[in-house]
Amino acid sequence: MRIQEFAVSDEKSGPYAITAGPDQALWVTLVHAGRIARLTVDGEVATYPLDTAECGPTIITPGPDGALWFTRFRDHRIGRMTSNGAIDSFPIPTPDSGPFGIVAGPDGALWFTETNADRIGRITTDGQITEFPLPTDGGFPSAITLGPDDALWFTLNQANAIGRIDLDGNVAVHSLPTPAAGPVGITRGTDDALWFVEIGAGQIGRISVHGRIDEFALLDRSARPHAVVADPDGGCWFTEWGANRIGHIGPDGDITEYDLPTPSSEPHGIAVGPDGAVWVALEIGLVACLRPVSTY
């Protein structure tokens, strides 16, 4: 792999999540600065301030309306930004809900997690919000993704479980075999299972739509895997926040790891870009791009 790094902010702004937008660019949340950055595959950067620097933009995803939607963890709102930088936001009915994960559903709406409220939220593209309670107390629902069964699958970081909610709000919870595993990121794999990372256990997990769970240990159990994205060629890419590495797990559980060039760069969000490369948000103000050497 060849790894390039691009500066998108100063080291205090905190690039956190990254996604490929509908405009063939990468969009990055700057969680500590209250800004959203846009990065082209050629390295051109533009940043857009939100209405308050303290709102805490966290996870970002493309919406069904061609805009970017993101959670505002610190002021408990859902944000929306068009590709030309027009911004709107919508307050969540439950106070201090702590929205974190967000993803487009199969129903033309966005679904999101409320970490502080044990709820899953749904927001239409015109800003109407519905909330669904979870059967947990302090479960800390975190990342969320769309499954192959047209349900939403999410991690319960403090309940040590994976949750599933259908479009009617029916919830199922699957406990993890490893105690205190602390699942965070989750994604739909090319094998139509859900893959997730266990930040507390140093493992990668896989759950089928029928609830079968497999876990794969990293060589460095203290690596703190944080975010995960499906590899279109099979397997998944993931960040190792505590080890300054990017990892890849194959469909059978074989793991390959790549050291990042800048020490202590704190890799967080990860996405496959419109160019097929792997793009990673680094909290120190950079975005890393991983490409096979053979593509140069």
Tell me the average confidence (pLDDT) per consecutive run of 10 residues in the chain, 296 residues long: 96 97 97 98 96 97 98 98 94 98 98 98 98 98 98 98 98 98 98 98 98 97 98 97 98 96 97 97 98 68
Q: Do 270 and 229 touch, CB atoms closer than 8 A? A: yes
Nearest to 283 by CA among 221, 239, 247: 239
Tell me whether residue 174 is annotated as binding: no
Cα distance between residue 135 and residue 142, in whole Å: 15
Q: How far apart, in Å, are the Cα atoms of 214 and each of 40, 97, 108, 251, 292?
A: 37, 31, 31, 11, 29
Phi and psi based region of residue 276 (left: phi greater than 0; alpha: psi -120 to 50; beta: remaining): left
Give me the active site residues, please: 268
Burial of 157 (0-12, 13-18, 19+ CB in 10 A): buried
Bridge partners for 88 per DSSP: 80
Single-letter amino acid, residue 191? D
Confidence (pLDDT) at 6:
97
Place of tokens 């794969």: 216
Tell me whether residue 114 is annotated as binding: no
Give the tokens for residue 243. Answer: 């080890």
Confidence (pLDDT) at 294:
62
Q: How far apart, in Å, are the Cα atoms of 223 and each of 134, 284, 286?
A: 30, 18, 20
3-state secondary structure (DSSP) of residue 294: helix
At the top level of CATH, which class does the domain 2-295 belong to?
Answer: mainly beta
Confidence (pLDDT) at 212:
98
Place of tokens 């051109």: 44
Confidence (pLDDT) at 293:
77
Confidence (pLDDT) at 24:
95
Confidence (pLDDT) at 296:
43
Nearest to 217 by CA among 266, 253, 251, 190: 253
Tell me whether residue 11 is annotated as binding: no
Distance, first Cα to last Cα, the chain = 11
Phi and psi based region of residue 28 (left: phi greater than 0; alpha: psi -120 to 50; beta: remaining): beta
Compute how many other C-beta atoms are within 10 angstroms of the C-beta atom of residue 209: 15
Cα distance between residue 257 and residue 245, in whole Å: 7
